[in-house]
Amino acid sequence: MDKCGTTDLFARISRHPDVVPNAKDKETMWWSWERYGYWLWSAKAKMTFLPNYISYFANLAQKLNHSTQGKGKTRLITGDGTPMDMWDFRGWKMIPQNRGLQEPKYLTPHLIQHINPGVKLIVLLRNPADRLYSDYYFIDNGEHVKNRTTFHLAVMKAINVLKNCQRHRTLRSCLFDFKINADLVKRKTRVHLGFYAAYLQEWLSVFPRDQILVMRTEDYSANPTSIMRRVFGFLDLRQLEEDELKKFNITTPKRVHVTKHKLGKQPMMTKTRAMLDNLYRSDTEKLSRLLNDEQYLWKGGGNDRGIVGDSTTQSNFQSPTNKNEQIEIIDT
């Protein structure tokens, strides 16, 4: 998911000598955006087609022609690191088989499974409240002053958007709706991305569980070397010796797109976290059951320390002032 460390993870995977990056280095943005003519929150971008997507992997094809081993097999692999593919299903109405439906029957997982049934999927998830706070500072939503008070206000407004939608529709319908997605961004914060179980369920309904590796950002940050060995095993890549891990900078402490400490960002207000914990509680409980792992309840609470791959930087943001921090927000 966005703001969970995917950029850093993808970079470390790509440093393995048997991995060939795609032409865009990480995010092709094809399955969730380009194929529908979407870009960010616009529906007016140029639409591209499957041959365009295939062209992003031409570099791999060329290498395969020179590295094929016995019986046509090779140890080389490639990948696509687009976080939006996990959750951005706004284009579902443009899939012909969904025509006339109130809710989608076919989504991105079905399309990918049709093209590449053997694909291996890696999902990186972070405490949803922390993910949202990082995302709030990252998104350029027109605010020149961002602090924990403005975040609290934005969260309240976004939750109301979802509540209003759910009065007449299912959560699934609201999460996948183009207009609701746009309205949430206008409210300055993408609370919908934190419903991990709702999105993961769509992938689990299409792909076998052993084709999906789910991990927590917190564990990745705490022990990237152990996690990378787990990832390489999942991808059937050869395990590297300690000297090779260092040689290819796979275990380097240097992180990709590190935040500049969010320019004075203070810890989230307690009442904001409580509000978000309440918002996501039902979903995290479902996630924990789906994965049979209580760690995905994030019972230990959250933290605002730097996370691997957290690229939250915006040069025009002002640090919070004491005056702003003392404003009392009434949660209605």
pLDDT tens for the chain, 332 residues long, are 999 999 999 999 999 999 998 999 999 999 999 999 998 888 999 999 999 999 999 988 888 877 766 666 778 999 999 999 999 999 999 999 999 999 999 999 999 999 999 999 999 999 999 999 999 998 876 777 889 999 999 999 999 999 999 999 999 999 999 999 988 888 789 999 999 999 999 999 999 999 999 999 999 999 999 999 999 999 999 999 999 999 999 988 777 655 554 555 789 999 999 999 999 999 999 999 999 999 999 997 666 544 443 333 333 333 333 333 332 223 32
CB 296 within 8 A of CB 123: no
224-232, long-range: CB < 8 A, 24+ apart: 224/12, 224/251, 224/308, 225/251, 228/12, 228/13, 231/9, 231/13, 231/122, 232/16
pLDDT recorded at residue 262: 54
Could you give the CA distance from residue 231 to residue 215 in angstroms, rounded to a whole number? 10
CB 204 within 8 A of CB 212: yes
Could you give the CA distance from residue 67 to residue 6 in angstroms, rounded to a whole number? 29
pLDDT recorded at residue 65: 78
pLDDT recorded at residue 257: 58
pLDDT recorded at residue 40: 82
Please name which of 39, 34, 183 lies closest in space to residue 111, comparing C-alpha atoms: 34
Which DSSP letter does residue 122 get? Answer: E
Report CA-CA distances (Å) from 96 to 87, 104, 107, 218: 20, 10, 11, 40
Could you give the CA distance from residue 308 to residue 73 in angstroms, rounded to a whole number? 34
pLDDT recorded at residue 298: 97
pLDDT recorded at residue 187: 79
Could you give the CA distance from residue 246 to residue 228 in angstroms, rounded to a whole number? 12
pLDDT recorded at residue 301: 65
